[in-house]
Amino acid sequence: MTEGNFVDYIKIYCTSGNGGKGSVHLHREKFITKGGPDGGDGGRGGHIYVRGSSNLWTLFHLKFKQHFRAGHGGHGSKNRSTGADGEDLYIDVPLGTVIRDFETKDILFELTDDGEAVILCEGGKGGLGNWHFRSPTNQTPRYAQPGIPLEEKTVILELKILADVGLVGFPNAGKSTLLAAITAAKPKIADYEFTTLKPNLGIVAYRDYQSFVMADIPGIIEGAAEGRGLGHYFLRHIERNAVLLFMIPSDSKDIRESYDVLLDELRRYNPEMLDKQRFVAISKCDLLDEELRDELTAQLKEELPVPFMLISAIAQQGLMELKDKLWLALQD
């Protein structure tokens, strides 16, 4: 999937259908001069549903169609005939999509199961025909109920990707290079910051034909939790990951400080993310000779509070061992 086709945030406008009017009709038939009321009910207006689909990975299919209207209910007619119900409309979205009200920004609901459908805009009920209002004292009512009007909403669809492992790190830490090395994904790779502007997903092939999904999240900068850069757009994708893999390059000035800054950004954005399992991968270790690797390993054993590994995606060093550790963490 190319970067331009990954759409994870979109605004749509939806209107359900009006309910049909009840009929005001008096029965007419040969030799029956006063047949009484027989007006039918109006039909229900169409609902608009949002439905989760495991076949979708992005909101790109909604990029060029952002207005949705369900069908109106038919009006009632004579002989107690009920109007037809309006046609329902289904909007399919990827699993992990959050639906927010555009005005209040409140979360209305979220979809995480395949085939799960929730009514976003409810169609108006049809009005009752005059047949329902007959009584001993009012045998020929000449009124009926109008249908209930449609419902309209403007909502925001936010995709929080569902992946097993999320890569967390500063820009240009080697996340895309790792994803390209252990999956069939082809993310954009270059030697400047913010090469990745959209999340990339890749399936990591493991032993015995097993696999898990890894997500390359665009680089986090200090202050992302307050929205600096595109912090909120990036950080929301990490919420759904089961395991977080922190990527810190071996040429960083202070690896422990880099880890603490990344962890603090996650804490300030959503403290619950600290409950996830965490690993640290020290990338670009092909730049180190054996003596420096041993020295760095001894230093990190004292400084880092979580398990770590030294890897090089370019030189294919430590990748299988990294897969083993991630797989064991996912099984736990």
Domain definitions of the chain by residue range? 3-159, 165-331
For 3-159, the fitting CATH number among 3.40.50.300, 2.70.210.12, 3.20.80.10, 2.60.40.10 is 2.70.210.12
For the chain, residues with pLDDT lower than 50 are: 1-3, 190-195, 224-227, 229-231
- Residue 244: its H or E element: strand 243-249
Please indicate whether the domains covering 3-159 and 165-331 agree at the CATH topology level: no
Sign of CA dihedral 132, 133, 138, 140: negative
On whether the CB atoms of residues 116 and 94 are closer than 8 A, the answer is: no
Closest to 196 (Cα-Cα) out of 222, 214, 223, 169: 169
Burial 238-275 (b: 16+ CB within 10 A, else e): bbbbbbbbbbbbbebeebbebbebbbebbeebeeebee
Q: For residue 70, what are the contacts with CB-CB under 8 A and spacing of at least 6?
A: 15, 16, 17, 45, 46, 47, 48, 86, 87, 88, 89, 121, 123, 150
pLDDT for res 262: 85
CATH 1.10.3720.10 assigned to domain 165-331? The reply is: no
Collapsing DSSP to helix, strand or coil, 178 comes out as helix
Q: Quote helix, strand, coil % in the chain, to nearest 5.
A: 25, 25, 50
